[in-house]
Amino acid sequence: MKLWLRMLARDLTRLRGRLFTVAIASLLGVALFAASYGSYRNLVASYDAMFERTAMADLTVKGGDVDVFATQARADPAVAAVSTRTVIESYARIGDRRLLARIVGRPAGERPAVNRVMVLAGSRLDAAEPESVLVERHLAEHHGLVPGDALEVRTAFGWQRVTVAGVVASPEYLWPARSRQQVLTSPANFGVLFAAQGPLEALAGGRGRQALVLLKDGAQEGAARDAALERLTALAREHGATDTVPLSEQPSNAILHEDIQGFREMAILFPVLFLAAAALAAFVVLGRLVHTRRWLIGTLRASGVRRRAVLGYHLAIGLVPTVGAAVLGAVAGEGLAGVISRLYTSQLSIPITVIQAHPLVDLAGVAMALLAVTVATLAPALDAARVTPSRAMGGAAPSRQGGRLQRWLPAGVRLPASLKLVLRGALRTPGRSLVTIAGVALSLVLVLVALGMLDTAQVLLDRQFQHVQTQDAEVYLADGAGAEVRQAVRAVSGVTKAEPVLATPVAVAGPDGSYATQLRAFEPGTTMHAFLGPGGDPVPLPEDGVLLDFALRDRLGIEVGDDVPLTLSDLDREVARRVAGFVDEPLGAFAYTSLPFEAGGAVVPTNALYVDYAAGVDRGDVRTRLSDVDQVVAVVDARTVARAVDDLMGLFYLLVGIMLIFGGVLAFALIFATMSVTIAERASELATLRAAGVRRGQIARIVGGENLMLVLVGLAPGMLVAWLVADRFLATFSSDMFRFDLQVQPLTWAAAAAAVIVAALVSELPALRAVERIELAEAVRSRGG
Cα distances from 564 to residues 183, 509, 524, 553, 559, in angstroms, run 25, 6, 21, 12, 10
Q: 365 or 693, which is more confident?
A: 365
In angstroms, the CA 496 to CA 514 distance is 39
* pLDDT on residue 156: 79
* pLDDT on residue 718: 85
Q: What is the DSSP letter of 734?
A: -
Cα distances from 251 to residues 35, 101, 469, 730, 741, in angstroms, run 27, 16, 21, 20, 22
Burial level of 697, CB count in 10 A (0-12/13-18/19+)?
exposed
pLDDT band at 406 (very low <50, low <70, confident <90, very high): very low
pLDDT tens, position by position, 299-357: 877 888 888 888 888 888 889 999 999 999 999 999 999 998 898 888 777 889 999 99
Burial level of 206, CB count in 10 A (0-12/13-18/19+)?
exposed
Do 286 and 318 form a contact (C-beta atoms < 8 A)? yes
Do 723 and 780 form a contact (C-beta atoms < 8 A)? no
Do 711 and 757 form a contact (C-beta atoms < 8 A)? yes
* pLDDT on residue 418: 53
Do 63 and 76 form a contact (C-beta atoms < 8 A)? no
Q: 51 or 269, which is more confident?
A: 51
Average pLDDT estimate for 582-611: 88
* pLDDT on residue 106: 92
Cα distances from 394 to residues 43, 388, 400, 684, in angstroms, run 62, 10, 18, 18
* pLDDT on residue 777: 56
* pLDDT on residue 150: 94
Does the pLDDT at position 764 exceed 80?
A: no
* Strand locations in 95-208 (E): 97-106, 118-122, 132-136, 150-155, 158-169, 190-196
pLDDT tens, position by position, 254-290: 888 877 776 777 777 778 877 887 888 888 888 878 8
Does the pLDDT at position 583 exceed 70?
A: yes
pLDDT band at 401 (very low <50, low <70, confident <90, very high): very low
* pLDDT on residue 397: 47
Does the pLDDT at position 161 exceed 70?
A: yes
DSSP conformation letters of 332-360: HHHHHHHHHHHHHHHHTT-S-------HH
Do 549 and 510 form a contact (C-beta atoms < 8 A)? no
In angstroms, the CA 732 to CA 652 distance is 14
Q: How many CB atoms lie within 10 A of CB 522?
A: 23
- 31-35, 306-310, 553-557, 646-650: the lowest-pLDDT one: 646-650
* pLDDT on residue 392: 60
How many percent of the chain have pLDDT more than 90? Answer: 31
Does the pLDDT at position 427 exceed 70?
A: no
Do 290 and 383 form a contact (C-beta atoms < 8 A)? yes
What is the dihedral angle through the alpha carbons of 57, 63, 66, 69, rounded to the nearest 10 degrees? Answer: -80
Average pLDDT estimate for 185-205: 88
Cα distances from 693 to residues 246, 696, 702, 706, in angstroms, run 79, 9, 15, 20
Q: How many CB atoms lie within 10 A of CB 372?
A: 27
* pLDDT on residue 9: 84
* pLDDT on residue 586: 84
Does the pLDDT at position 625 exceed 60?
A: yes
* pLDDT on residue 775: 57
In angstroms, the CA 396 to CA 387 distance is 12
- 17-31, 271-285, 414-428: the lowest-pLDDT one: 414-428
Does the pLDDT at position 201 exceed 60?
A: yes
Q: For 168, phi and psi rounded to 5 degrees?
A: -130, 160
pLDDT band at 231 (very low <50, low <70, confident <90, very high): very high
pLDDT tens, position by position, 663-688: 677 677 777 766 666 666 666 666 77
- The Cβ-side half-sphere exposure at 633, using a 13 Å CA radius, reads 23
Residue 536 amino acid letter: G
Q: For residue 165, what are the contacts with CB-CB under 8 A and spacing of at least 6?
A: 122, 123, 124, 125, 126, 129, 132, 133, 134, 147
Q: Which of 16, 673, 761, 719 is nearest to 280 (CA)?
A: 673
How many percent of the chain have pLDDT more than 70? Answer: 85
In angstroms, the CA 406 to CA 417 distance is 12
Cα distances from 780 to residues 154, 192, 295, in angstroms, run 91, 80, 12
- 5-14, 179-188, 263-272, 673-682: the lowest-pLDDT one: 673-682
- 251-255, 375-379, 431-435, 587-591: the lowest-pLDDT one: 431-435
- 15-24, 99-108, 374-383: the lowest-pLDDT one: 15-24
Q: What is the mean pLDDT of the chain?
A: 83
Angle CA 141–146–150, to nearest 5: 110
Q: For residue 703, what are the contacts with CB-CB under 8 A and spacing of at least 6?
A: 425, 679, 682, 686, 764, 768
- 131-135, 248-252, 649-653: the lowest-pLDDT one: 649-653
Name the strand (E) or helix (H) holding 613. Answer: strand 608-613
Q: Which of 22, 29, 24 is nearest to 287 (CA)?
A: 22
97-106 vs 190-196, strand pairing mode: parallel
Does the pLDDT at position 398 exceed 80?
A: no
* pLDDT on residue 422: 55
Q: For 637, phi and psi rounded to 5 degrees?
A: -80, 130
Average pLDDT estimate for 716-729: 84
Q: 620 or 704, which is more confident?
A: 620
Do 718 and 445 form a contact (C-beta atoms < 8 A)? yes
Helix/strand/coil for 741: coil
* pLDDT on residue 189: 86
Q: Is the pTM of this model over 0.85?
A: no
pLDDT band at 393 (very low <50, low <70, confident <90, very high): low
In angstroms, the CA 523 to CA 638 distance is 20
Helix/strand/coil for 720: helix
In angstroms, the CA 395 to CA 295 distance is 9
* pLDDT on residue 461: 78
Cα distances from 497 to residues 281, 447, 471, 493, 592, in angstroms, run 61, 44, 9, 11, 21
pLDDT tens, position by position, 70-127: 999 999 999 999 999 999 989 999 988 888 999 999 998 788 999 999 999 999 998 8
Find the DSSP H helices in 79-146: 137-143
Does the pLDDT at position 431 exceed 70?
A: no
608-613 vs 473-477, strand pairing mode: antiparallel
* pLDDT on residue 405: 46
* pLDDT on residue 101: 93
Cα distances from 473 to residues 168, 608, 639, in angstroms, run 29, 10, 8
Does the pLDDT at position 769 exceed 70?
A: no
Q: What is the DSSP letter of 498?
A: E
Q: 704 or 743, which is more confident?
A: 743
Do 38 and 361 form a contact (C-beta atoms < 8 A)? yes
